Amino acid sequence: MTDADASLIATREGAGDQPVGRLLMNRPRALNALDLPMIDGFAAAIAAWRDDPTLRLVLLEGAGDRAFCAGGDVRQVRQQVLDGDRAAVDAFFSREYAVNGGIAGFPRPWVSLIDGICMGGGLGVSVHGSHRIVTEHALLAMPETAIALFPDVGTSHVLPRLPGGLGRWIALTGARLKGAEAVEAGLATHFVPRDKLPALRQALLAHGDASVIDDFAEAVPPGRIASLRPAIDRCFAHDDRAAIERALEAEGTDWAAEQLAILRRVSPTSVAVTLELLKRGATLDLPGCLEQELVLTRTVTQHPDFAEGVRAVLVDKDQSPTWQPVADMKAMFED
């Protein structure tokens, strides 16, 4: 795909007879949010390049200077839910998750240059790749509990494998990690300042060798995540909401009070579903996690809280959702 107006622009560039596959998410006004044409563009590129022995690596970026990818286009999904179009909802998630699995299984380096907002689906197209490079302008998060969804795009496999209580903290609170903090937490692999990105991009295209990243990356010393780790581990080591809240209350700090306020503001159903999802995800491989997430989309998006959460956060933006917690959370996991 080379149409300059396409939502995903795929080209083969540089490195002589051993080119680089270059992908540009091209919806800057929508913060490069993933729509179905973009997802299908990813699928087509993966299919075309996966078995190409001449291709050295894939380089993924987002257009504009505000976002790498702000996530999936959940406003469109919400409208499909309200219209009763379950087939369209299922098509979006099933094809998105297939792309996530395709990236994880891609046989050559998958290099993401994350400069700006990277949330939800943006992590799905980067975190399963080999190299996740962040700048000082990067901001990574999984904010799904605020819209009554759950950490998806394969993060139910990634988050439980982060050290200590980091995965639960990120998943439940939608914690926003700046560039260096994302490296500290293990979601990103390298930190490169924004002003070095043009030279890094040129080196990758010229040499087709991901090892050149080391020439541009800067060390990330212990910072905010390291200082918070003891409290995160004490409070989010539990897989029960009540235990987490008790631990936060006992912590008695401003940070703990902020986390407690977030937990009491987001969807109660999403908190319960997320805790169970991460518990199960810790024992599953990535395909198993993606399959479980797909099952969940078929129940969670049909619950009134999803449409209400997206309305409150992204449509009307009044930040005042009215939740209707489910009585039987485990029924959400049944297809």
Check 41, 116, 120, 121 and give the catalytic one.
Answer: 121
DSSP state of 32: T
Both structure tokens of 321: 């959702």
Candidate list 96, 144, 305, 308, residue with the active-site label: 144
**DSSP secondary structure, 96-145, as one string:** HHHHHHHHHT-SS-EEEEE-SEEETHHHHTTTTSSEEEE-TT-EEE--GG
Greatest alpha-carbon span in the chain: 61
61 is catalytic: no
Has 72 been annotated as catalytic?
Answer: yes
Contact 123, 155 (CB under 8 A): yes
CA dihedral 256, 230, 277, 145 (to 10 degrees): 30
Whole-angstrom CA distances from 329 to 155, 162, 193, 230, 296 are 20, 25, 43, 30, 11
DSSP 8-class letter at 315: I
- Let me know: does 185 contact 222? Beta carbons within 8 Å: no
Told to judge if 116 belongs to the known catalytic residues of this protein, a careful annotator would answer no
CA pair distance 300, 325, nearest whole angstrom: 11
The yes-or-no answer on residue 3 being catalytic is no
DSSP, res 191 = E
- CA–CA gap between residue 226 and residue 51 (Å, rounded): 41
Q: Which of 73, 115, 152, 293 is the catalytic position?
A: 152
Catalytic residue among 14, 41, 72, 120: 72
Tokens 């479980």 identify what position? 292
Q: Which residues pair with 34 in a beta bridge?
A: 72
Residue 83 phi, psi dihedral angles, 5° rounding: -80, -5
Q: Point out the residues that are catalytic.
A: 72, 121, 144, 152
